[in-house]
Amino acid sequence: AADKIRLIPQDFLAELCEQIMQHLNHKIPGINTAELCQRIQTSGVDINIGDLAKIANTLSFLFSTAARNNLSTEELVTTLGSGVSTLPKHAVQVIRHVWNEQGKAIAVSEDAGNMATVGQFVDMKWKLGVAMSSDTCRSLKYPYVTVTLKVADPSGQITDKSFEMTIPQFKNFFRQFKEMASVLETV
Amino acid sequence: MAALRDGDFGALQILLKAPSKDAVRQLCQECFSSPPAALGPLAQRACPGLAVSAQEAEQLVSALHNLTRHVVYRGFNRAEDILGLFPESFHQNLKNLLTKIILENVSTWRNEAQASQISLPRLVDLDWRVDIKTSSDSIARMAVPTCLLQLKIQEDAALCGNNPVVSALTVELSKETLDTMLEGLGRIRDQLSAVANK
């Protein structure tokens, strides 16, 4: 991961660190690794989402450990220097700067929402469509619902999961959620 | 996409050698459901029952596949439409039998076609549970209700053939996020009603 980090331009690295800090501070539900990766790739840098995810994980761990141990900026930089492989200078600069600005503000105590061992639901996008025709049926008029769930995995990274439902399935889906909500009310 | 070819109706008359009407019915169903790649093996299995050569079996199975799929594609559900496909010279009784069998099956076949057409991954199951978080290593006492939702999602059936891949997505929702979800779902329901009333 340390080698790949040298590929990331400074301003993108700063943005990634910003998102990580905001996530650790519960200001945002997750880190938009996929979206950021796409923008980095568009700028001409050859990095894949897996590598970026590993880097995000490492940085997240670094910042949260530093927060728990109440490290000052100097202590953090020293720790980085004595780490396994040397980070490029521009990366150290970014990390130092971000920590200096926001390190103290990270709330050390966790709230109930932070003990995720499963993905956290972030958002839902939907589409109602009608399939008109296909290679198997010339005239279909088949309605369906497409849903994209945005989920933040335990490390905070956001992934999308898309799937389709028939209308009866959707009605059942809706009914289940209403039941869940009413149980939540009474509990 | 199944289009009827010239030799198909000739090949269909091989069915006159079939032992019974039920055998014809069974073969129609198998030929519709079989993907093109599996027609060869199907022909081999049908061969002995029909007492025809391997080549005739292949031509027959292929013709029957094309005919049944063509009817479903065109959405025919009346006898006249199906009868109209056959040439004048075609054996009358066989034509009537095939039309009858196809009419019996066309709705089921249409559903089958819709279920296996290309799509995004499909939701196959939904399980949920409501928990209360009572304590953790960082907070001694609390009472936070939370929902655990497990969605079972099947990848595109067309890509997986007979071994569909089902993945499970486990998601946690708080009261707030559940409300967001419900709001979105409510809007879909409203849209559905609006579309249904048009």
> Domain for residue A6, yes or no?
yes
Please report where in the chains the tokens 């009472």 appear, as a residue: B143
Q: What is the Cα gyration radius of chain A?
A: 21
> Which one of B72, B138, B148 has the shortest CB-CB distance to A136?
B72
**Same-domain pairing of A92 and A157:** no
Residue B83, pLDDT score: 93
Domain limit, last residue, from A79, A105, A131: A105
- Within this chain, do residues A99 and A158 fall inside the same structural domain, yes or no? no
| A115 within a domain of the structure (yes/no) | no
Measured between beta carbons, the chain B residues lying within 8 angstroms of A122 are 177
Q: For position B132, what pLDDT does the model report?
A: 87
Q: Given CB atoms, is B191 within the 8 Å cutoff of chain A?
A: yes
Chain B residues in contact with A125 (beta carbon < 8 A):
184
Residues 7-66 of B with CB under 8 A from A: none
CATH number, domain of A176, equals 3.10.450
Query: Does the structure show a pLDDT above 90 at A117?
Result: no
A2, A79: one domain: yes
- Domain co-membership, A90 together with A145: no
Least Cα distance to B156 among B115, B117, B121 occurs for B121
Residues 6+ apart with CB under 8 A from B19: B49, B50
Q: Can you read off the two tokens belonging to residue A9?
A: 């331009």
Query: Residue A60 has what pLDDT?
Result: 87
Helix (H, G, I), strand (E, B) or coil at B125: strand
Q: Which residues on chain B are in Cβ contact (under 8 Å) with A177? A: 178, 181-182, 185
Q: Are A31 and A23 in contact (CB under 8 A)?
A: yes
Residue A114, pLDDT above cutoff 60: no
pLDDT higher than threshold 50 for residue A112:
no
B164 or A131: which carries more pLDDT confidence? A131
> Looking at residue B178, what is its pLDDT?
92
CA–CA distance, A30 with A38 (Å, rounded to integer)? 17
Cα A171 versus chain centre, distance: 30
| Parent domain of A141 | 120-185
Distance CA B198, CA B6 (A): 43
Interface probe, candidates A133, A138, A163, chain B, greatest B C-beta count within 10 A: A163
Residue A121: burial class (beta carbons within 10 Å; 0-12, 13-18, 19+): buried
Q: Are A133 and A60 part of one and the same domain?
A: no
Same domain, A144 and A178: yes
Which candidate from A125, A134, A184 shows the least CB-CB separation from B145? A184
pLDDT of residue B198: 64
pLDDT at position B84: 92
Residue B84 in contact with residue B70, Cβ under 8 Å? no
Residue A170 belongs to some domain of the structure = yes
Nearest CA-CA distance, residue A2 and chain B, Å? 31
- What ipTM was reported for this prediction? 0.74
Instruction: List beta partners, residue B89.
Output: none
Residue to mutate among A117, A174, A178, with most B CBs inside 10 A, is A174
Residues in chain A: 187
3-state SS string for chain A? CHHHHCCCCHHHHHHHHHHHHHHHCCCCCCECHHHHHHHHHHCCCCCCHHHHHHHHHHHHHHHHHHHHCCCCHHHHHHHHHCCCCCCCHHHHHHHHHHHHHHHHHCCCCCCHHHCCCCEEEEEEEEEEEEECCCCCCCCCCEEEEEEEEEEECCCCEEEEEEEEEEHHHHHHHHHHHHHHHHHHHHC
- Considering the domain architecture, whether residues A25 and A69 belong to the same structural domain is answered as yes
Nearest CA in chain B to A113: B174
A23-63: pLDDT as tens digits: 888 888 889 998 999 999 998 888 888 889 888 988 888 88
Which residues 6+ apart lie within 8 Å of A84 measured at CB? A2
In this prediction, residue B149 carries a pLDDT of 93
Determine, yes or no, domain membership for A124.
yes
Predicted pLDDT at B118: 81
A23 and A89 assigned to the same domain: yes
d(CA A128, CA A126): 7
Q: Are residues A99 and A31 in the same domain?
A: yes
Final residue of a structural domain among A105, A131, A147 = A105
Query: Which residues contact residue B162 at a Cβ distance below 8 angstroms, ignoring those fewer than 6 apart?
Result: none
**Is any Cβ of chain B less than 8 angstroms from the Cβ of A131?**
yes
A137 touches chain B (CB under 8 A): yes
CB contact under 8 A, B75 and A120: no
A114: in domain = no
B138 vs B146: CA distance, rounded Å: 18
Q: Which residues of chain B have pLDDT under 70?
A: 1-2, 157-163, 198
Question: CA B145, CA A113: separation in Å to the nearest integer?
Answer: 11
Instruction: Return residues 43-62 of A near B (CB < 8 Å).
Output: none
Instruction: Give the residue ranges of DSSP H helices in B89-155.
Output: 92-115
B74–A138 C-beta distance less than 8 A: yes
Same-domain check for residues A92 and A160: no
Closest CA of chain A from B10, distance in Å: 24
Q: Does residue A112 form part of some domain? A: no
Look at chain A and report how many structural domains it folds into. Answer: 2
Q: For position B162, what pLDDT does the model report?
A: 63
Query: What chain A residue is nearest to B107 in terms of C-alpha separation?
Result: A137
Q: Which amino acid is at A52?
A: L
Give the model's pLDDT for residue A84: 55
Residue type, B139: I
Comparison of pLDDT for B123 and A87, the residue scoring more:
B123
Residues A60 and A93 in one domain: yes
Look at residue A25 and tell me if it is in a domain: yes
Which residue in the set B75, B182, B189 is minimally distant from A181, CB to CB?
A: B182
Question: For B49-85, what is each residue's pLDDT tens digit?
Answer: 888 888 999 999 999 999 999 999 999 999 999 999 9
| A153 shares contact with chain B (CB less than 8 Å) | no
Among A73, A105, A137, residue at a domain's last position? A105
Q: How far apart are CA B155 and CA B119, in angstroms?
A: 9
| pTM over the 0.95 mark | no
